[in-house]
Amino acid sequence: MMSCTLLNPKKRLFLCLLVSLAFFLVVDTSSQQHLEAKKKLMREKVRQMFYHAYDNYMTYAFPHDELKPLTKSFTDSLSELGNLKLEHLPTDYNGSAVTLVESLSSLAILGNSSEFEKGVRWLSDNLKFDIDARVNLFECNIRVLGGLISAHLLAIDPTNRLIQGSYNNQLLRLAEDLGKRFLPAFETPTGLPYAWINLKNGVMENETTETSTSGCGSLILEMGALSRLTGDPRFESAALRALRQLWRMRSSLDLLGTTLDVVTGEWLEYSSSIGAGVDSFYEYLLKAYILFGKEDYWQMFSSAYLASQKYFRHGPWYHEANMWSGKPTYWQLTSLQAFWPGLQVLAGDIAAANSTHREFFYVWEKFGILPERYLLDHQMIHPTMKYYPLRPELAESTFYLYQATKDPWYLDVGEAMVKSLNLYTKVPGGFASVRDVTTMQLEDHQHSFFLAETCKYLYLLFDDSFVAKRNYIFTTEGHPIQVVSSWHEKLPKSYSGNWTLSKELANLQRGAWESGASALSLQVCPSIALNSRRPEQHRESACHVPDEKINHRCRSNKE
């Protein structure tokens, strides 16, 4: 074979370029093959995790609520959900098979049509809601109503072929029955629903009037979908009235407190955050906009999101703040906040999502898993909140960020999480919650959301074939609902699928995103529109504190 050195310079250069190109193509192909092999391996590991949890539940706990994996027994003591009635069982039985309801959409995503159909048949024959039981409206909505609606939509989708026999909308009828039992909770002077409702008798005498922002502001996806499926507008109307009333109660800073009184409409807890008590309120505003197309939802979300960036954000972290003054109240990270980067991906704020996600993963690596509460000002775990109940939020955000960026680093994050879960929480009887992340002492509880969300998002991270078929939004409990144009009163102006970049955020940072940069990398706080064509257009700063410099430059962490 002729050497490159024997050719004339032009031919030598051309031949060497061809050889180099071929080398890089081989390397790239090899890397891609390695990546696909890794994804396949991790997908199977997550599949094994799901079935280890699911099979043990079915063996030792079904049809009760949840599994106690250490003692291989069951619990019906879900204080949030109360107890639901099942026919053809002993009269003293009080279980609700919540884990089965929660698992149906995961079974569909894993492609197990036989187990999915088996679960549908069992619930159709046994689950009834005519029982004298006090349930938490929010939890019952996201777990049971959402699970039934999602499973119904999956069952009637001919592309999934999950039901081989006949299906006559049994799950939808169950969902409609449950939704009707929710409606008395909304009969308040404000339209804000009670936190608790008796499924048979409605609101109990002397029922507490205290609820949370997320508790009354995160019902619109499930109840809106129920109205679209049944043609009964009462469900969506009740949830929307509550949401709008809640928004009218915001402060002049566009912040909302954590708890309130549904009768008087007065705030009880003024501390505002993106964490517990408020978290899914933000989530449902954006997802309702995607699912139903109402501009109202986007207007509320964009205002609330910018306020959160201005008053909560401190670098990559988010502290709590007083809803009236915007001043910090509690400097703490809570594990529920880990959903936030995933929501930012849906809003198109990828740089901010990546920054916060990396900090959460840093805490995960530091302790092996994510503690429930971490004190930012003291860089230590909250002394009484050291537990980890198998929460899904970090896995959820990891999935969204990989979908948006295809950066293989997020696969490494998922792999580390799978390794930690198997190392610290897997036991012969399932997966146990962690009572103390500093000692890895376990607690005898496998929450239903481990099957509904944690395993689901980890599986989708490594195998996204399910979401590649359709546009879906996932409820706060991880139940997929397909985005269809027929549910839109009109298509949103900026809507083009799951990864829509809204016009409001696009205008806010247009120049940065057009160049592939971010406000952070440009060291500019977007107090003015980053658009050279309209430099005179001023916008409120999205930074967490007022800008120190008139030109809005941020050249240090302090600024």
Q: What is the pLDDT of residue 10?
A: 64
Please, which residues have CB within 8 angstroms of residue 150's CB and are 6 or more apart in sequence? Answer: 104, 105, 475, 479, 480, 481
Three-state SS for 491-542 is: CCCCCCCCCCCCHHHHHHCHHHHHCCCCCCCCCECCCECCCCCCCCCECCCC
pLDDT at position 17 is 65
pLDDT of 524 reads: 40
Cα 329 vs. chain centroid, distance in angstroms? 25
Catalytic residue, candidates 115, 117, 139, 463: 139
The pLDDT value given to residue 432: 98
Catalytic one among 176, 222, 393, 477? 393
Query: Residue 372 catalytic?
Result: yes
pLDDT tens profile 382-413: 988 999 999 999 999 999 999 999 999 999 99
The residue annotated as part of the active site, out of 372, 396, 444, 463, is: 372
Residue 521: Cβ-neighbour burial (10 angstroms; 0-12, 13-18, 19+):
exposed
pLDDT of 390 reads 98
What sign for the dihedral angle of Cα 525, 531, 532, 537?
negative
- 211 - beta bridge partners? 260
At 18 the pLDDT is 64
Question: So what's the pLDDT on residue 11?
Answer: 67
Q: Is 393 labeled as catalytic in the residue annotation?
A: yes
Q: In sequence order, what are the residues at sequence separation of 6 or more whose Cβ sits closer than 8 angstroms to the Cβ of residue 327?
A: 321
Catalytic residue list contains 489 = no
Per-residue pLDDT of the chain (559 residues; tens, 9 = 90+): 444 455 566 666 666 666 665 555 555 677 888 899 999 999 999 999 999 999 999 999 999 989 999 999 998 754 444 445 554 444 444 457 999 999 999 999 999 999 999 999 999 999 999 988 899 999 999 999 999 999 999 999 998 889 998 999 999 999 999 999 999 999 999 999 999 999 999 999 999 999 999 999 999 999 999 999 999 999 999 999 999 999 999 999 999 999 999 999 999 999 999 999 999 999 999 999 999 999 999 999 999 999 999 999 999 999 999 999 999 999 988 999 999 999 999 999 999 999 999 999 999 999 999 999 998 888 889 988 999 999 999 999 999 999 999 999 999 999 999 999 999 999 999 999 999 999 999 999 999 999 999 999 999 999 999 998 789 999 999 999 999 989 986 544 443 333 333 444 444 333 333 333 333 334 344 433 334 344 444 333 333 344 455 544 445 544 4
Query: What was the pLDDT predicted at 24?
Result: 54
Report the distance separating Cα 196 and Cα 241, nearest Å.
18
**Residue 377: predicted pLDDT:** 84
Q: Which of 117, 176, 279, 444 is catalytic?
A: 279
Mutual orientation of helices 170-182 and 113-126 as an angle, nearest 10°? Answer: 50
**377 counts as catalytic:** no
